[in-house]
Structure 1
Amino acid sequence: MAERLKIVKDDPWLEPVEGELEYRRKLYLDALKEIEEASESIADYADGYLYFGFQRDEEAHGWWFREWLPGAWEVFLFGDFNGWERRSLPLARGADGVWSIFLYDGDWGRGLKHGSLYKILVHGENGWHERIPAYARRVVQDDATKNFTAQFWNPEPFDWTGDCFDIGNLPTLYIYESHVGMAVEQERVGSYAEFARDVLPRIKRAGYNTVQLMGVAEHPYYGSFGYHVSSFFAPSSRFGTPEELKALIRSAHALDLAVVMDLVHAHYVKNLNEGLNGLDGTDCQYSPSGEEGYQPYWDSKLFDYGKPQVRHFLLSNIKYWLDEFRFDGFRFDGVTSMIYRHHGYTEFDSRGKYFGPDVNRAALTYLTLANTLVHEVRPSAVTIAEDVSGMPGMCIPVGDGGVGFDYRLGMAVPDFWIRMLKDVPDEDWNIWDIWNILTDRLPVVRTVAYAESHDQAMVGDQTIAFRLMDKEMYTGMACGVRNIVVERGIALHKMIRLVTIALGGQAYLNFMGNEFGHPEWIDFPREGNGWSYRYARRQWSLADDAGLRYAQLGLFDRDMLDMVERNGIMRSGYAYNHLMDTAAKTMVFSHGCVLFVFNWHPSLSIADYIVPVPEAGRYRIILSTDDLRYGGQGRNDRSVAHFSFPVTDDEGVTRHYIKVYNICRTAVVYKIIR
């Protein structure tokens, strides 16, 4: 009898679906065996980017060009190197639908230069179409026509000398979710070079150690935030060259910052002029045929994860970003959409929802292969799953029967905060609800905690700061101005972040600018706003102005991260709950000898409030949201030492307590002084 999967042994709730988990494991092992029979390892298998597209053959003195187009009838290569003659360079069809042509240096290859523009002409069921090859490593847009064209890219090898950064040396990830284009203050698109020069040092000073880059792979519509990818192997040219992206990553590593890529393998743009849709003339090359290949909620195309050539394409894409650009890991976007045929649009209220016919087993197999590949190519690289469903096994090691992600995003937490701020008056906030949502996770599932990300900042939603303060942010953020709306807003802004990082997981994420309460929303240039960049930028000057509350919020965020890291808060497991006083809306918990006291009450402050402590001793304040420098009212005296005193109950149990000034809408962190 085969040994039971560890995932089942560790979680009796999964025993009724053990057979399904075993079958999923078999699908993965069968796929891996097929891969290893074709190549020595999955890492070798994922070298598609070294075979397709333009590849140099020094022995033959020329360039091979290859493209997988199984449904095509005729294929031609053309570009400025052959005078844009569309049918002078036909490709020959080979095995498995791979088309190829060799450009000899003494013939057509003579005109092929670094920077040459090119396309392929494909004749198939859908007619004749000029297309961009799937493996194109650079795609540029013509300013006049707005059309995209592939560009032959053959620069000198990038100099990675001295780059020896290892994300595995970071004990805790503090992630700064970033978008290069909107990281400038001017109303325009920012560049990789500007981000490296101006924003990376800012991230470092702010206390974050990991940069998560959005919108890296080329996408035709800027306003898609990079989630409708057209060219999976081409860094977006609107931000600069591939070498400038590599320089950004090298600069980040020099600052001991990891760089994680927001990887979009859940779908692709449906455009025919760009991208993969109908590339070989059929609707089923990269996608399932018909409606099964369409994502109606995102108006995009889905991948056919069960097709070996599609898996090869996607796995090669992963290795490409790891090897060529030295990314330190990936945040896999849209995992929920991938693993369910309903794309997550249901209530996950029963075990059957995770193991029924709506589950896309092929997608789970692909994701398991993807995690196997990432950790074989770069053992310390990090993978993060954006899965709102809570699929069991998502963050369980592959060897134990899981999918193998290192972390999941705690997506229920930002939804909770928005719901509380939007629908529940302060006086009705339930502190048990706060505690439960932030601690509702399995101990073996590492979670990225966050109060808000880019999702909550988009038009149609609001950031926490904007939801709290709204129009008062335009007139009431000067330090000398006392505005009751702003006072409440900055107090809760700090408390929400502190309780989230203290209780919510093993890593922490923030979207750029939200740490200092960036005003307004994000709205990319579009027809509806007159193609304006006004809301697609970051006003860093607000955080740099010592006369504004934004600077105070930014300072608090930095000191919060410093306190959390110095005391290993996110590495210490679940917090210990000492007290939940619902009448005073006060919650008291600890991580080791660090004590957190949160008073969520809008008006009730209590002198000499008695709170339990983890052990006897002398406690001092190490962080208070009420400090003047953080925009508070300065009602805590940091110089005061709080000496514990014992109390023995009727059952003879002795506990230790301290007395504190429990201030409304304030969180205070105490630490024992040895």
Structure 2
Amino acid sequence: MAHDKFGGLAGWDFEGFHSGGDTEIWKRLGSHLVTVEDDERGTLTGVRFAVWAPNAQRVQVVGPFNWWTGDDMELIPGTGVWALFVPGLGEETLYKFKIQDRSGHWHEKVDPVAKFAEQAPANASIVYESKYVWSDDDWMARRRASQAHQEPMSIYEVHLGGWRKGKSYLELAEELVEYVTWQGYTHVEFMPLAEHPFEPSWGYQVTGYFSPTSRFGKPDDLRYLIDRLHQAGIGVIMDWVPGHFPKDAWGLGRFDGTALYEHEDPRQGEHRDWGTYIFNYGRNEVKSFLVSNALYWIKEFHVDGLRVDAVASMLYLDYSREEGEWVPNQFGGRENLEAIDFLRYVNRHLYEREPGILMIAEESTSFPGVTKPVDDGGLGFGFKWNMGWMNDTLRYLELDPVYRQYEHNLLTFAMVYAYSENFILPISHDEVVHGKGSMLNKVPQDDWRKFATLRAYYSFMWSFPGKQLIFMGCEFGQRPEFNESVSLEWWVSDLWGHGGLQRLFRDLNLVYREHPALWRLDSDPAGFSWINADDPGHNTLSWVRSDEEGNHVACITNFSPDPLQDYEIGLPTDGTWTEILNTDAPAYDGSGQYGNLGAVHAKAEPWSHFPARATVTVPPLGSIWLRRNAD
């Protein structure tokens, strides 16, 4: 064969890949449509296949083009990479790799770097080259200049298969974009979109890290959906799963007959809770694979941020293990030093390469410095989910109001550590599955109290320091738990209570975005001041949010079923404070009986540490926001 049998990879030393520094491996490994020069036949087009399998005796590429019998690939000397150029093949060719291990056994594997794959239960990799032309230049320019900590962020978490069952990427590009725009969210967060075989895993057990799931269409269809969201001014976050991968025989596990991507020792290499393998973060090629994958979604799909799943499971060697079931680090400790180094590496690299993106940790422990810069000894994330706030406030929500006064600290404790990290307040899919009940059904007593309490709770959440995330269906009070096999119960939004809650969410987002006092200083103690944190007898909390220009929003929330009339509060300035939100309003299916006639007047009389005071009415199981702009 006179043409380049490696399809352009001849002479490539893969030094970066082996040192952990190749952060774009999708450009070299996997399948690529290429053109080569042949001495006899001139210019040839076809597909170059390349796969890393350093411990294999023999590797073949199989597909319909060779009747699945196999064409032998050749080892590029000194690289562990096998490659082959097959002329005449085109886009959407199906293929797999057959790998013979040292013992002579054959293993059929999908391509770890495939850009597309068959829909489960089929699993062949598919040759795919994007032809998409983006139209989001304005968005991308704004992204590069953005300062996320000082900007509004309310996130709508979506499981694409369950939002409206059966919809494609292209259909969602119309319907989801329209809905999220109407609701006023700044971002959507997609549960993992990488290819996965088991639908009830929701994408958290990935077999195709570079393959958008084909359940909803082709990769360029996903690009179109993201492009449309960007054109509507909506950012896109995607869940990313570098913590573990499933044991399917055709996946990454024991890829060349050895523990290539995972640890050999099950005390280091297996999550028994999840039945999965753990990546070997100390292997440079694995680091190249994972960092490249993170960058791939951001560069090739214009994803604006990655929410990194299960970070706690990566940080601790004894995560969900008993004594003797884990291997200490070199200093005898429980911290996974290799995983910590990897997280710092990926965060530093992505923020340097793509300014303005978001790296978000789902981290459930008190590991220090998750959102501190790497140079200051932190992990380098931009944000962390505030799981403590979530757990405490949901415990409070589930209490009968008569008992809430005894657990008042569940609502106030989060301010003790509010500025230790850059937080997102999450009410995610995890809180409405597996017997935990929907948000509506967590709240005790009758429907009037359930809906009123939820309206007050979400107002409390939207005005608390930190960004916000809410799972789909919570915005209209869906009663059943999340079930990925069916659509959300959209029809209930026409009913009393449900429709009012949905309209409240729209107004929460709109009012929130209009008032920088609610988000500009989220990460600065100067942006928050308690009015009264110590009123458990009324189940009431109140505070003032401020920006650096002297604008203020006072937020008072009453978790008691009794109205508060002539309730005295302190305020930072005297004058007229406009009521900009009242969760008891008829538009939200509230009673409309308890409000402040649009405004309250604060007198220049000291109250506690404030120079002014006012008397307000706060509805039962309700919340009000009052605005005072700088003169």
What TM-score do the two structures reach when normalised by structure 1? 0.82
Letter in 2 for 1:664: P
Structure-1 residue corresponding to 2:474:
514
C-alpha separation between the residues in 1 aligned to 2:599 and 2:332?
Answer: 58
C-alpha separation between the residues in 1 aligned to 2:355 and 2:320?
Answer: 30
Structure-2 residue corresponding to 1:147:
122
What RMSD, in angstroms, separates the aligned Cα atoms of the two structures? Answer: 2.6
Structure-2 residue corresponding to 1:264:
241
Matches of residues 68-467 of structure 1 in structure 2 within 5 Å? 68-86=52-70, 88-92=71-75, 94-103=77-86, 109-110=87-88, 112-124=89-101, 127-141=105-119, 146-154=121-129, 157-166=131-140, 167=143, 168-169=145-146, 171-184=151-164, 188-273=165-250, 275-343=251-319, 357-422=333-398, 424-430=399-405, 432-443=408-419, 445-450=421-426, 452-467=427-442
1:503 to 450, 464, 472: 464
Whether the 8 Å contact between 2:371 and 2:384 is mirrored in structure 1 is yes
Structure-2 residue corresponding to 1:479:
none
Structure 1 residues 551 and 338, CA gap change in structure 2 (3 angstroms): same
Letter in 1 for 2:191: M
1:542 to 470, 492, 504: 492
Whether the 8 Å contact between 1:336 and 1:344 is mirrored in structure 2 is no
Tell me how far 1:284 sits from its aligned partner.
4.2
Q: How many residues align?
A: 584
Letter in 2 for 1:509: L
CA deviation vs aligned residue, 1:300-337 (integer Å, no higher than 9, x gap): 11000000010011011112112211111110111111
Structure-1 residue corresponding to 2:566:
608
Tell me how far 1:356 sits from its aligned partner.
6.8
C-alpha separation between the residues in 1 aligned to 2:319 and 2:428?
Answer: 21
* Secondary structure, aligned partner of 1:95: coil
Q: Residue 556 in 1 paired to residue 504 in 2?
A: yes
Structure 1 residues 161 and 601, CA gap change in structure 2 (3 angstroms): closer
* Secondary structure, aligned partner of 2:508: helix
Tell me how far 1:261 sits from its aligned partner.
1.3
Larger displacement relative to structure 2 (561-570 or 207-216): 561-570
C-alpha separation between the residues in 1 aligned to 2:272 and 2:63?
Answer: 35
Tell me how far 1:71 sits from its aligned partner.
2.0
* Secondary structure, aligned partner of 1:139: coil
* Secondary structure, aligned partner of 1:272: coil
Whether the 8 Å contact between 2:557 and 2:623 is mirrored in structure 1 is yes
Tell me how far 1:581 sits from its aligned partner.
1.9
Tell me how far 1:460 sits from its aligned partner.
2.2
Whether the 8 Å contact between 2:295 and 2:350 is mirrored in structure 1 is yes
1:672 to 621, 628, 631: 628
Structure 1 residues 390 and 648, CA gap change in structure 2 (3 angstroms): closer
> How many percent of aligned residue pairs carry the same amino acid?
26
CA deviation vs aligned residue, 1:404-452 (integer Å, no higher than 9, x gap): 1100001122222332344x332121464244343243526210013x2
CA deviation vs aligned residue, 1:471-502 (integer Å, no higher than 9, x gap): xxxxxxxxxxxxx6111101111111111222
Letter in 2 for 1:80: P
Larger displacement relative to structure 2 (640-649 or 438-447): 640-649
Whether the 8 Å contact between 1:647 and 1:656 is mirrored in structure 2 is yes
Whether the 8 Å contact between 1:311 and 1:366 is mirrored in structure 2 is yes
Structure 1 residues 334 and 235, CA gap change in structure 2 (3 angstroms): same
Whether the 8 Å contact between 1:344 and 1:389 is mirrored in structure 2 is no
Structure-2 residue corresponding to 1:478:
none
Whether the 8 Å contact between 2:52 and 2:81 is mirrored in structure 1 is yes
Structure-2 residue corresponding to 1:632:
590
* Secondary structure, aligned partner of 2:182: helix
Tell me how far 1:252 sits from its aligned partner.
0.7
Structure 1 residues 46 and 301, CA gap change in structure 2 (3 angstroms): same
Whether the 8 Å contact between 1:576 and 1:589 is mirrored in structure 2 is yes
Structure-2 residue corresponding to 1:578:
531
* Secondary structure, aligned partner of 1:395: coil
Structure-1 residue corresponding to 2:3:
none
* Secondary structure, aligned partner of 1:164: helix
Tell me how far 1:658 sits from its aligned partner.
1.1
C-alpha separation between the residues in 2 aligned to 1:421 and 1:636?
Answer: 22
Letter in 1 for 2:310: G
Letter in 2 for 1:487: W
Structure 1 residues 114 and 211, CA gap change in structure 2 (3 angstroms): same
Letter in 2 for 1:133: D
Letter in 2 for 1:358: R
C-alpha separation between the residues in 2 aligned to 1:43 and 1:362?
Answer: 13
Whether the 8 Å contact between 2:456 and 2:558 is mirrored in structure 1 is no
Larger displacement relative to structure 2 (560-569 or 161-170): 161-170
* Secondary structure, aligned partner of 1:341: coil
Structure 1 residues 620 and 162, CA gap change in structure 2 (3 angstroms): closer
* Secondary structure, aligned partner of 1:66: strand
C-alpha separation between the residues in 2 aligned to 1:374 and 1:640?
Answer: 47
Structure-2 residue corresponding to 1:656:
612
Whether the 8 Å contact between 2:73 and 2:82 is mirrored in structure 1 is no
Structure 1 residues 209 and 606, CA gap change in structure 2 (3 angstroms): closer
Letter in 2 for 1:502: S
Whether the 8 Å contact between 1:616 and 1:656 is mirrored in structure 2 is yes
Larger displacement relative to structure 2 (168-177 or 298-307): 168-177
